[in-house]
Amino acid sequence: MHDLRLGFAYLARGQRWVARHRKQFGFGLVPGLITLVLYLAALTSLALWGTDFTAWATPFADDWSTPWQGLFRGFLTAVLLALALLLAVLTFTAVTLLLGQPFYENLSEKVDRDVSPDGTAPESGLPLWRELLVSARDSLRVLARALVWAVLLFALGFVPFVGQTVVPVVGFFVTGYFLTEELTAVALQRRGVELRERLSLLRSRRTMIWGFGTPLGLAFLVPFVAVLLMPGAVAGATLMARDLLGEEIREDRADGAGHGKTLDGRPADTGSVSR
């Protein structure tokens, strides 16, 4: 429970950080707004023509009697929309981060400089095109993992009782995990941490990751809320990345974290993160 609360605390601290740095908040809204418009257009199209698509995909039901044809195709349309919404939540962060790589990279660096005891931030040293390529590659690999989970949960959704109770809860935890991976990648990639090691770090503090990502995933179901929370989510994920690597956080910059300690008060292991 401590790690669960700690994960949520990082999410809240990230939002407070961008509230104090309004210029960074404003810049951070731009990629989210662009992604939101694209996703709303796609989801609206699916809502308008989803029934037609379902009818085209199920010609074998053309001769079914009423009401079974309508119930069957209506159910498939609802499932299709639900799956599209789940994929939108899973991929919104990755697409927004990819479109806004320069914005969020800059924001994450400023958070690092603000809370670092020596006022410095790790730099990747890679040109922008190379950073975009690495980010896109890793996002596709993470998305492939997320899709496996999405298909599995979709199939389990047909199991009576379990599909209506347990599966939605598990789905939100899975969504929160992958959202957090994408967000912490901004800070961890600058430190040269590869995807395999990032996933290992997240698994080592899974409860904290859920505390950060699960409420964020629930909030992201509301489109405009997702855009507003995105800059703070990147800031909070940067703070959490420092914790995962045992880096120090300045007391006067992180709402009570002790100098030489992570936000939960543990001594920082700075020697383990030199790269």
19-70: pLDDT as tens digits: 998 888 887 888 888 888 988 898 888 888 888 888 888 888 777 877 887 7
Q: Determine the residue type at 266.
A: R
Distances (CA, A) of 3 to 52, 106, 146, 187, 207: 47, 28, 23, 20, 6
Residues in the chain: 275
Name the residue range of residue 19's domain: 2-273
- The number of distinct structural domains making up the chain is 1
**Residue 22, Cβ density class (10 Å: 0-12 exposed, 13-18 middle, ≥19 buried):** exposed
Residue-level pLDDT at 275: 36
On average, the pLDDT of the chain sits at 81
Residue whose pair of structure tokens reads 């053309």 in the numeric block: 62
Q: Are 213 and 7 in contact (CB under 8 A)?
A: yes
At 224, the pLDDT band (50, 70, 90 cuts) reads: confident
At 240, the pLDDT band (50, 70, 90 cuts) reads: very high
* Cα end-to-end span (Å), the chain: 32
Select the more confidently predicted residue: 267 or 12: 12
pTM for the full predicted model: 0.74
Residue-level pLDDT at 91: 78
